[in-house]
Amino acid sequence: MSVHKQKMDWCLAKETRMRKIKPNDKLSQEHLDKAKHNLRAADYNIKGGFSDWGVSQFYYSMYHALLAILFKLGYESKNHECTINTVEYLIEEEKIHLDLKDIAFIRTTEQMTSKDAKSLREEFQYGTETAVNENILKELLENTKRIVEKIEIALSEL
């Protein structure tokens, strides 16, 4: 049994983490719309001098895109780790056609530097720093757009 399958089973063992539901195209689309909304909000905040909040919105843009996958395939998650892991499992099982490298950008893992989206979001959401390096913002913007677009395409193929 794969590590992703074991983690997914752990997530499903308690409904407060994640549960199996009837696939819901409407909620899937609403989460994809929220992902795009968060991208626009990030751009707005960065231009307005609130780049620290832009970092959080980039993360949540990608996170809502992941939730869109789950609702489309019949899962409801209330846990970030469960959401990310379940999408990794669905990729592993070839139920959705995405690259695990894209998902690795979203999550925090032992192998990654502190530059992944989740770590950056935690740093700027819970820390006191308000200015974000321009190169980091550019990388986040490019990767977030690319990942949300790839998820939208993958969803259309389901």
Q: Name the CA radius of gyration of the chain, rounded.
A: 15
**Is 13 within 8 Å of 125 (Cβ atoms)?**
no
Backbone angles phi, psi at 24, to 5 degrees: -130, 95
Short-list 75, 71, 91, 92, CA closest to 18: 75
> Could you state, in order of their start, the residue ranges of all structural domains in the chain?
3-153
Q: Give the span between the Cα atoms of 39 and 30, in whole angstroms.
A: 14
- List all residues 6 or more positions away from 52 whose beta carbon is below 8 Å from its beta carbon: 124, 125, 129, 130, 131, 132
Query: What value does the mean pLDDT take over residues 119-139?
Result: 67
Greater model confidence, 2 or 122:
2
Residue 75 pairs with which residues in a beta bridge? 20
Q: Out of 1.20.120.330, 1.10.10.10, 3.40.50.300, 2.60.40.420, which CATH number does the structure's domain 3-153 have? A: 1.20.120.330
pTM of the model: 0.85
Write the pLDDT tens digit of every residue in 58-82: 999 999 999 999 999 999 999 999 9
